[in-house]
A and B are shown apart, each in its own frame.
Chain A
Amino acid sequence: MSLKWRVGIILGLIAASLWALFPRTVVERVKRNGEFVYDTVRRVPLKRGLDLQGGMHLALEVDESKGAVPDKSKAIDNALKVVRNRIDEFGVSEPLVQKAGNDRIIVELPGIDDPRRAQDVVQKSAFLEFQITDETQALEKALPRLDAVLKDAKVAAATPTTGARKDTTSAGLQSLFTADTSKKADSARKDSANAAAGTAGGPGAFSKLIQQGQMPGEYYVAQTDVGLVTQYLAMPEVQAALPPAKVVRWGSDTVSLGNRVYRPLYILDAKPIITGEFLTDAKPNTSPTEGNLVQFTMNNEGARRFRTETSRHIKDYMAIVLDQRVMGRPPVIQSAIGANGQITMGGKDLQAAQDLALVLRAGSLPVPLKVVEVRQIGASLGQDSIHKGITAGVIAVALVVFVMLGYYRFSGALAVVALALYILYTLAALAGFNAVLTLPGLAGFVLSIGIAVDANVLIFERIREELAHGKTVRTAIDEGFRHAMSAIVDSNVSTALTAAVLYQYGTGPVRGFAVTLLAGIAASMVSAIFVVRTFYMLWLNRSREAQQSLSI
């Protein structure tokens, strides 16, 4: 190849690399004052991994703890669409939602600074049901059975938090089995408190934990006892003793009465009068009386059903159940309801209403998903990693330059120029192939700066040997390159093969490492062999005396 061609190719590569790395204007979704907006940003087109720019990586699988899912792959496909819709609306720049393997969804959200919220949006089933609260006092009828079951199971010994129970000042509550007068209620409560404090394992292990609420099918459980009741309700014996054709659901908000905090527990008709599948739109709103809420609209069929069902349940209470939790307090049905309705958010902020509207719009997840892997990195930590990586890189370059110049002098200088080109080419290759730069990748890149000169070292040592054999400078250079070639090729190919294996079997950050390694190998072959060779040829052509001695 003629010298002109060689120089041309090198200059062409430099130009192409500079072009690939030139900061360009991209339209991106960026966060400004808490809102995601589209904006143009100028930046170097090097993609940073989540560990460098901050963000969140989630792996989700079908949650089969509440029942087996027959066709997981199909379920995941359906769930994928819903998750993708939700993420698209959530407003993250360059999110990634993809299926991995047969039964897993990978979600990557760069730059997320509120991981908990993001995870909620992804994971929320958003299964909306409208259920009528129980009016048949089914729980009261079942209570003796429940108490007996618990007594048999010998859990009665686990007394509830009695400290709070002794506080009998909270008036206005009606204890479950006493008459309506508050005096009697008080004395009954004292009794039950005494029973709990005194004889552990006494009667009413279950019934003493719950109290009648303010509407049919509503009961109150002291906040401190919620864990215990949840535990009881999860027991198979208890579940079998619960009233048939009814479901038990917790309320979303707590109720304060006096200075005690209660969580409502609802007994609902198991069959919902309608579900969220007919929902066409949902949007957040704020009302002065009810606080934040989500207004929804149903399609024609949904509206028709809703109207028929609600007209049948006038004066009943309708619980709006989202993901098995009763939202707000069940309103009484005054008249038939049509296409529009609303869900009050209780004390939650507007963002919660926005998120709920979002997930309702995107549709409910066909199967519950559980998180099997989370990696979340704060943006500041990522920034810090970049700074440290760059510092390490600059120091590595300085050390290598020092060693090469000190030992090989003029030839070392050629190698240093080649090293600069190596860095340029590698970064350009990463940008050009849209590869992702991760922290291990950055480390690999710094390391490769130290190893990239190996090819030059091999060549220079060969040239020295040839010179020692008394060859002329021109011949020594030719022979040096030729003899060093097989070692360079063999060692680089074997490293490339290792990198390919890493790429295949690595995940996230490690994969980034493999890509950087591969790009580095390719770039170092070009810079060490082709570029340095060309430099030598240029130099030999230029000066006559150069052919007499070589600084190496």
Chain B
Amino acid sequence: MLRILHDTNYDFIRWWKVMAGITVAFILLGLGSLAIKPPNYSIEFTGGTLMQLEFTQPPDVGQIRATLDQAGIRGAEIQQFGTNREFTVRAQNREAVAEQSRGAESIAVSIEKVLKQKYGENGLKVVRTEAVGPRVGQELKRGAIVAILLSFLITLVYLSIRFEWRFATAAVIATSHDVFTTIAFLKLMHLEISLTVVAGLLTVLGYSLNDTIIIFDRVRENLRKGRKETLYETLNRSINETLPRSVMTHVTAFAATLALLFFAGEVIRPFAWVMAFGIVTGTFSSIYVAAPVLLWIERKWPRKTGVRQSSSTATPTSRTRRSPATATR
């Protein structure tokens, strides 16, 4: 039997202050950077036009820009996208978006026209066009925010039913932490916030929550066993006991993420980056945010005594739907 990190007894929680320092510093760095310069929202949220063009000959970026400028399409961002014959053109500035309130496609039509005049009808091909009017952008933005908040709420409710409010709150705080670190990561990596990235963010939340639940499930079980130990020790024990599982799951999930990052192409890469970072932050927050927060909550609002006795009478096979704490009330 091949075993890694078996029967470990690391004192994970001892380091929580150091870890809190690191993560707070990272979040502050990200938020500070946000305060200086707003994040890159994709055209889905701001309104605007994105075109992916495939040229037959590698063109000169400066020339593309000059051609667009001449035609009055100013401030368009031009980026290489994969090979040196593929480029994206992004018109997202205020004038471009205002123009689109008359018709979302107008800018795309003129971009295609002037570039085909310059490079010839067969000199380039438009392989993708996304044009979003400002109003739709607003709606999508609102939808994304509602989705994130709603998923928090639903999770909180579900966890409160399955565990109890202390666990649920700690889990949701750990997950919120992941939102902040991921946003900081997006900003520091200059990644664009698109609908797909928001979907990635929600997947990260699910993943992180999953990880926290696995550890808390073990905590719940260890509390039931009624050992004579402090919650601090129980938390550490639970983290250590679930360590092999955590490592294995993160390894396989990370393997799949790497496959996406390197092989699934440009369009999906931002999503893969979010996922890759999410696995790291999700693991981190389960240990260094969820557990310390749970400890803090327990100190502030301690459980009623008598938990131990009642839980020792419960048979290990009968899984009550409620936590030991609520069961005694």
Contacts and interface: CB of A to CB of B under 8 A. Distances in A.
Contact of B259 (A115, A392, A502): A392
B146 A505 contact: yes
A59 interface: yes
Interface in B260-288: 260, 262-265, 267-268, 271-272, 275
Contacts, number: 234
24 contacts: A63-B103, A372-B135, A373-B104, A385-B268, A388-B263, A388-B264, A388-B265, A392-B259, A400-B255, A443-B264, A443-B272, A446-B260, A450-B254, A454-B245, A461-B244, A465-B241, A490-B159, A491-B209, A494-B209, A497-B154, A498-B206, A499-B206, A501-B154, A514-B199
Contact of A451 (B159, B207, B218, B317): B207
A240 interface: no
Contacts of B253: 447, 450-451, 454
Nearest to B316: A483
Interface stretch (B19-27, B57-65, B125-133, B289-297): B125-133
Contacts of A406: 2
Which of A448, A450, A517 has the most CB atoms of chain B within a 10 A radius of its CB? A450
Interface stretch (A176-184, A270-278, A282-290, A375-383): A375-383
A374 B131 contact: yes
A377 B255 contact: no
Contact of B203 (A444, A490, A551): A444
B134 to A, nearest CB: 9
Interface string B96-110: 000000111100110
B158 A494 contact: yes
A116 B106 CA distance: 11
B256 A400 contact: yes
A82 B3 CA distance: 67
A312 B170 CA distance: 85
A228 B146 CA distance: 46
A44 interface: no
Contacts of B174: none
B259 A377 contact: no
B188 interface: no
Interface in A479-530: 482-483, 485-487, 490-495, 497-502, 504-507, 509-510, 513-514, 517
B241 to A, nearest CB: 7
B182 to A, nearest CB: 14
Interface string A369-403: 01111111110110011001101110110011001
A507 B140 contact: yes
A458 B246 CA distance: 9
Given A116-B109, A487-B217, A403 B252 contact: yes
A513 B199 contact: yes
Contacts of B319: 485-486
A396 B259 contact: yes
B42 interface: no
Per CB-CB distance, the 10 closest pairs between chain A and chain B, nearest first, are A450-B256, A399-B255, A505-B147, A396-B259, A491-B210, A392-B264, A388-B265, A372-B133, A392-B263, A378-B127
A374 B104 contact: yes
Contacts of A491: 209-210, 213-214
Contacts of A448: 256
A230 B18 CA distance: 68
Contacts of B154: 497-498, 500-501
A500 B158 CA distance: 13
Contacts of B151: 497-498, 501-502
Which of B52, B105, B159, B252 has the most CB atoms of chain A within a 10 A radius of its CB? B252
A447 B275 contact: yes
B252 A453 contact: yes
A495 B256 contact: no
A457 to B, nearest CB: 4
A447 B263 contact: no
A352 B80 CA distance: 36
Interface in A420-455: 439-440, 442-444, 446-451, 453-454
B237 to A, nearest CB: 13
Nearest to A450: B256
A165 interface: no
A115 B109 contact: no
B307 interface: no
A96 interface: no
A449 B248 contact: no
Q: What bracket does the count of chain A residues touching chain B fall in?
A: 35 or more
B146 A396 contact: no
Contacts of A513: 196, 199
Contacts of B126: 376, 378
Contact of B260 (A375, A384, A447): A447
B167 to A, nearest CB: 10
Which of A448, A490, A551 has the most CB atoms of chain B within a 10 A radius of its CB? A490
Interface string B176-214: 000000000000000000011011001101110110011
A539 interface: no
B251 interface: yes
Interface in B228-263: 241-242, 244-245, 248-249, 251-260, 262-263
A19 interface: no
Which of B3, B109, B136, B195 has the most CB atoms of chain A within a 10 A radius of its CB? B195
Contacts of A509: 195-196
B144 interface: yes
A543 to B, nearest CB: 19
A484 to B, nearest CB: 9
Interface string A85-127: 0000000000000000000000000000001100100000000
A552 interface: yes
B105 A457 contact: no
A378 B128 contact: yes
Given A116-B109, A381-B52, A396-B259, A373 B264 contact: no
Contact of A403 (B128, B150, B207, B255): B255
A495 to B, nearest CB: 4
B271 A440 contact: yes
B259 A453 contact: no
B248 A461 contact: yes
A407 interface: yes
B195 A374 contact: no
B93 interface: no
B143 interface: yes
Which of A449, A499, A505, A551 has the most CB atoms of chain B within a 10 A radius of its CB? A505
B35 interface: no
A33 interface: no
Contact of A440 (B128, B140, B158, B268): B268
A501 B252 contact: no
Contacts of B249: 451, 453-454, 457-458
Interface string A451-472: 1011001100100110000000
Nearest to B132: A373
A520 to B, nearest CB: 11
Given A388-B264, A495-B210, A371 B105 contact: yes
B308 interface: no
A65 interface: yes
A443 B268 contact: yes
Contacts of B214: 458, 487, 491
